[in-house]
């Protein structure tokens, strides 16, 4: 074994080390990107799902399959607060009015998830148990407007004055690589439930 061989070995070790470093960094970067991209995909899907559910439900405020049973839709909103709303609608089209409540739970309920800000967005149909799944909701905020388009500030004493609603929804990934949470935001600038304006 001559001097050249020793040089070859040393050079091989250095090159091998560099390659291993590159591979390790590549693996780390690939893991991070994969984690983040998958997280963002889930995030977008969660956001679209929640937005579709909210739009579907909120557009039916005051609707009844038999309109004679609920002739004054202006009474459809029962309670309204920043992150809490109760309203009446015939969600199952059986001509009987149902009540739907949406509200945001506390962050402490999801202390098991790495994201400290995510919360459960609850949907309560009539007197059934509240339903929720962790979709990474961090903000569910509503702003209410009266017939002249002016903002109504909570506490709203006469819910019948509400004619349109702004819905703000923020969603974050429930877990993230190196705590770099992705976030997405959806806003329905003016959701007008048409039945609130009937007659």
Partner 1 sequence: MSGKASLLLIMGFSLIFLVVSRNFGDVSNRAVDNFIDYHTETVAHDIAVSGANIAANNIFMDPTWDEGYDDVPFQNGTMNISVEILDPYKNIRQVTSQGTYRGYTHTAKVTLAPSKFSKFAYYSVSEGGTIWWTESDTVWGPFHTQDYLRAHKHPVFFGKATTKRSLIYYTNERTDKPYFYGGYEQGVNLPLPTNAVDDMEAIADDDGFKLSGHDTVYMTFDRDSLRYRYSYNAKNTVVYLPSAAPNGLIFAKDCVVRLNGVVKGQYTLGCSSNMSAGKGTIYLDNDIVFDKDPRIYPTSNDLLGICAENSVLITNNTPNQSDINIHGSIYCEKGGFGAEKYDTRPKSGNINLLGGIIQNTRKAVGTFDSNGLKTGFAKRYKYDERLMVASPPFFPGTGGFEIVSWYE
Q: Give me the residues that bind partner 1 (CB under 8 A), please.
A: 19, 26, 30, 33-34, 37-38, 40-41, 44-45, 48, 51-52, 59-60, 63-65, 67-68, 71-72, 74, 146-148, 150, 158, 160-161, 163, 194-199
Task: Find all residues with CB under 8 Å of 60, minimum gap 6, and list them.
Answer: 89, 90, 91, 193, 195
In angstroms, what is the minimal distance from the CB of 77 to partner 1? 10
Provide φ and ψ at 64, rounded to 5°: -140, 135
198 CB contacts (<8 Å, ≥6 apart)? 62, 73
Nearest residue (CB) to partner 1, 59 versus 109:
59
- Give me the least distance between CB of 30 and partner 1, in Å please: 5
Nearer to partner 1, 13 or 30 (CB): 30
The least distance separating partner 1 from the CB of residue 111, rounded to whole angstroms, comes to 29
In the complex, what is the shortest distance from the CB of residue 115 to partner 1, in angstroms, rounded to a whole number?
20
Q: Indicate if the alpha-carbon torsion angle 13, 19, 20, 21 is positive or negative.
A: positive
| Nearest distance in Å: CB 107, partner 1 | 26
Q: State the nearest-atom distance from the C-beta of 174 to partner 1, in Å.
A: 17
Q: Which is nearer to partner 1, 33 or 141 (CB)?
A: 33
CB-nearer residue toward partner 1: 18 or 116: 18
- Which long-range CB contacts under 8 A does 57-61 form with residues at least 24 apart? 57/89, 57/91, 57/100, 57/102, 57/123, 58/165, 58/167, 58/188, 58/191, 58/193, 59/191, 59/193, 59/194, 60/89, 60/90, 60/91, 60/193, 60/195, 61/87, 61/88, 61/89, 61/193, 61/195, 61/196
CB atoms within 10 A of CB 171: 28
User: Which of 72/94 has CB closer to partner 1?
Assistant: 72
Considering the complex, state which of residue 87 and residue 103 has its C-beta at the smaller distance from partner 1: 87
């Amino acid at each position: 074994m001559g001097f050249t061989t020793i040089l070859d070995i040393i050079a091989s070790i250095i090159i091998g080390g560099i390659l291993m470093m590159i591979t390790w960094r590549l693996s780390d970067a690939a893991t991070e990107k994969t984690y983040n991209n998958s997280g963002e995909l889930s995030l977008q899907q969660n956001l679209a799902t929640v937005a579709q559910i909210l739009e579907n439900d909120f557009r039916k405020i005051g609707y009844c399959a038999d309109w004679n049973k609920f002739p004054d839709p202006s009474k459809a909103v029962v309670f309204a607060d920043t992150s809490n709303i109760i309203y009446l609608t015939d969600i199952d089209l059986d001509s009987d009015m149902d009540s739907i409540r949406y509200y945001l739970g506390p962050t402490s309920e999801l202390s098991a998830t790495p994201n400290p800000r995510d919360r459960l967005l609850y949907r309560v149909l009539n007197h059934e148990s509240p339903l929720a799944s962790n979709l990474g909701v961090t903000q569910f905020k509503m702003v209410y407007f009266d017939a002249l388009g002016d903002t109504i500030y909570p506490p709203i004493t006469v819910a019948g004055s509400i004619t349109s609603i702004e819905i703000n929804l923020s969603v974050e990934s429930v877990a993230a690589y190196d705590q770099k949470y992705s976030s997405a935001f959806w806003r329905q600038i003016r959701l007008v439930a048409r039945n609130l304006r009937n007659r």
